[in-house]
Amino acid sequence: MEPALRTELAVVGVRTASPLRRRAGAGPSDDGHWRLAGGGGCPAAALPLSADSPYEVMEDGRITKDGVVVEDAMLEPIDRPAFYDLVTDDGIPYEKLARLHGTNVLATTVVQTCIRYTSESTRCRFCTIEESLRAGATTQVKFPDQLAEVADAAVRLDGVEHMVMTTGTSNGRDRGAKHLARCVRAVKERVPGIRIQVQIEPPLDLSYIASLRDAGAEAIGIHIESLDQAVRERWTPGKATVPVSRYEEAWQEAVRVFGRNRVSTYLLVGLGEDPDELVAGCERLIGMGVYPFVVPYRPLDGSLANDVDRVPAPDPSLLLSVSMRIAAALDVAGMRGADQGAGCAACGACSALQELGG
């Protein structure tokens, strides 16, 4: 698919009834999951479902814009996975414990509450982590044996190959790493072949990063969302109390423990950051061995940015130009998302970087 179209779809979304839709949660949500027909860098795309989008996906996978067929663009919906129909011994549907992302990723939020979310003065303004809990779509805490059971089924029945485990931030010194490590260990014991990425804020004690690697995780995401302190204070006021320099220490420790290009960070396009500074910051990250996973900001129902601030999605041309420049820097450094082994950068469905060669 043409990069310009890929980035436009990532921002304006598509109209259709997609079988795989997440209403809310950590990470980009309210999206449909698709297989990109015709190959390309990334096999999957997570696109917002929007009734206002000029793009419509037809039953045969062709895309129309304002009713006119777009040439050379096909999207195939990803089927509802079989493991969604199973239930744990204690009666919890697997679907409430973990979800299929892209084509082959199992994703879960091991603790669905966050110390940053309790007050509007500390909550990340794009986040909806506790909304899916309020809606009854998930459980507050996923237990290690539950996740091992779900992962086993997802690998056997649906061809899942890797797993993303994220968490809301706890108030302990580990910031949630201890529970994550227990979950990783249990899944690896039951399904040794699955690859796992963990996602976490910098722990107050950085030795917890090694404990996640020791538990069996292959990759780690330590997500800052913006490198611009003024933007951070506006968009992620709670997390902004952790200085960028502390993130740098955590990334360095993570690269030491997990290796180069096994560490990533989410960066959102559309928060008002200067594009040149964003690209320069990403180049610094790449130099450290950290993959900058650049995705568009998405206005999600239930988030402060959408419901209160009414911030629209970014201009697709901004996303395209920034993604192209960062993909070029990744190419020069020989860093590819797929080489992360597990997690969001390996999946790539939420970003245009893999399509552009990153």
Residues forming the site for ligand SF4 (CB under 6 A): 27-28, 46, 101-102, 105, 107, 164, 344, 347, 349-350
Minimal distance, residue 274 CB to ligand SF4, in Å: 25
Minimal distance, residue 138 CB to ligand SF4, in Å: 15
Distance of CA 126 to the CA centre of its chain: 13
Q: Which is nearer to ligand SF4, 30 or 130 (CB)?
A: 30
Residues 157, 100: contact at Cβ < 8 Å?
A: no
Q: Which is nearer to ligand SF4, 28 or 316 (CB)?
A: 28
Separation between Cα atoms, residue 13 and residue 1, nearest integer Å: 15
- C-alpha angle 87/196/28, rounded to 5°? 75
Minimal distance, residue 98 CB to ligand SF4, in Å: 11
Q: Which is nearer to ligand SF4, 60 or 101 (CB)?
A: 101
Q: Which is nearer to ligand SF4, 49 or 210 (CB)?
A: 49
Q: What are phi and psi of 336, to 5 degrees?
A: -120, 145
Minimal distance, residue 101 CB to ligand SF4, in Å: 3
Minimal distance, residue 241 CB to ligand SF4, in Å: 25
* DSSP structure class, residue 341: -
Residues 286, 258: contact at Cβ < 8 Å?
A: no
Q: Which is nearer to ligand SF4, 12 or 105 (CB)?
A: 105
- Dihedral of CA atoms 306, 311, 313, 315 in degrees, nearest 10, equals 180
Residues 261, 339: contact at Cβ < 8 Å?
A: yes
Separation between Cα atoms, residue 9 and residue 18, nearest integer Å: 15
Rg for the chain, CA atoms, rounded:
19
Residues 218, 342: contact at Cβ < 8 Å?
A: yes
Residue the block writes with tokens 């304006």: 12
Question: Tokens representing 250?
Answer: 């955590």
* DSSP structure class, residue 353: T
263 Rama class: left (phi>0) / alpha (psi -120 to 50) / beta = beta
Q: Which is nearer to ligand SF4, 191 or 350 (CB)?
A: 350
CA nearest neighbour of 291 among 254, 240, 316, 237: 254
Minimal distance, residue 351 CB to ligand SF4, in Å: 7
Q: Which is nearer to ligand SF4, 133 or 345 (CB)?
A: 345
Q: Which is nearer to ligand SF4, 160 or 240 (CB)?
A: 160
Minimal distance, residue 76 CB to ligand SF4, in Å: 16
Residue 280 CA: distances (Å) to CA of 240, 258, 288, 292: 20, 24, 13, 11
Minimal distance, residue 41 CB to ligand SF4, in Å: 13
